[in-house]
Amino acid sequence: MKEMPHHTFDPLGARRSPGAPEVDVFVWGTVFLDLVFAGLSSPPKPGTEVWSEGLASCPGGIANLAVATRRLGLRTCLAAAFSDDDYGDFCWRTLEEQEGIDLGRSRQFPDWHSPVTVSMAYGGDRTMVSHGHPAPVSSVELIGEPPRARSVMVDLAESGLWEASGSGERAGETWVDAARRNGALVFADVGWDPEERWDRSVLDRLGHCDAFLPNAVEAMAYTGTSSPQDALFALADRVPIAVVTNGADGALGIDTRTGEEAQVPSLRVRAVDPTGVGDVFAAAMLVGTLAEWPLEHRMSFASLSAALALQQYGGSLAAPGWGDIADWWTALASGRSDDAYHRSLRRRYSFLDDLVPRVPVTACRRATATIARRADVQDLH
């Protein structure tokens, strides 16, 4: 692993020891160049032009998760195919040089152009248009034997991810199984099914996982239930840690390893851009789980991290760092607001009192960037 390019807080510092994995989280997926238009008064209509309040350009797709975990202090390794075009160079440079993500398992390919997504945020939601082609190689070809890691994050519905790559005694084993055999906790999420088939056999793959973090719509669709709570109960029968996010209504979770059940509300914030917010929630859950926090603290921390991202423009750019967490808690703890809501926040997040004093003033904070000039993505922390 390369040294981080800035001084940061290490939430797993007390758990590091000789012989422990160098990688905290290993992720695989497609990196998009994201162009995010936010603050639209209305969606564009045929034959019209709409101006946005904000524009951000940044690595997206799986990069949203990789940046979020790295900003929160986890040593992150990303395996992805990159183009050698200008967009691919920009994404590679941003992730490796600015964010300090290990790209040792990634490769650049000629004659393959970068996938691109245009995201338009308005009315608290978003619309996206994407273009791209399949990666030149599969995850099995790109990854081979995965690095020894504390955790991996996977897409439960990505069929190619679950193709066996082992041989001999390991025949039938996927690289995800190999990572788990070597001690990694396997976290999974699942995306929207564009055909809305919601094949329930996808849930059979939870037998290879330790945690599952779907949203309420996905959870209910795949389990065939009519409420987030019933979906959570069904998922908890299949996987040790199940957490269902439910937008403005917060999140529900069960950790069958410890017997904990929790429900946390969302924070009241002005929604600017939801791009990548789910990835930030997942990254924060990874941090809390690896640090062995109580389930309620993990989920509250994830809800806070997601809320901080929701108030900013720009997908991966909006992911908060420990500096942002410390700023928020310091302002809340010393603030003058003394209504019932803010008193509740102080009680719910009092566990941060044990963490924030150890966060250095120079800890990582969110960045802004464009593809206009190389200087725009340097020295932004």
**Helix, strand, coil % over all residues of the chain, rounded to 5:** 35, 20, 45
Residues 6+ apart with CB under 8 A from 288: 297, 298, 299, 301, 302
pLDDT of residue 167: 55
pLDDT band at 252 (very low <50, low <70, confident <90, very high): very high
**Which residue has better confidence, 161 or 262?**
262
Distances (CA, A) of 144 to 54, 105, 178, 179, 234: 41, 9, 10, 11, 34
pLDDT band at 202 (very low <50, low <70, confident <90, very high): very high
**Using alpha carbons only, what angle is made at residue 204 by residues 200 and 207, rounded to the nearest 5 degrees?**
150
pLDDT of residue 169: 55
Looking at the predicted structure, is the pLDDT value of residue 79 above 90?
A: yes
Distances (CA, A) of 193 to 70, 127, 150: 28, 16, 29
- Segment 110-149, tens digit of pLDDT: 999 999 999 887 776 778 899 999 999 988 889 988 999 9
pLDDT above 70 covers a percentage of the chain that reads 91
Name the strand (E) or helix (H) holding 244.
Answer: strand 241-245
Looking at the predicted structure, is the pLDDT value of residue 52 above 60?
A: yes
* Residues 155, 158: Cα–Cα separation, whole Å: 6
Distances (CA, A) of 332 to 264, 288, 303, 347: 18, 21, 16, 11
Distances (CA, A) of 223 to 46, 197, 282: 39, 12, 20
pLDDT above 90 covers a percentage of the chain that reads 67
Which residue has tokens 């941060």?
A: 352
Q: Give yes or no for a contact between 120 and 94, defined as CB atoms under 8 angstroms apart.
A: no
pTM as predicted: 0.90
Q: Is 246 exposed, middle or buried (0-12, 13-18, 19+ CB in 10 A)?
A: buried
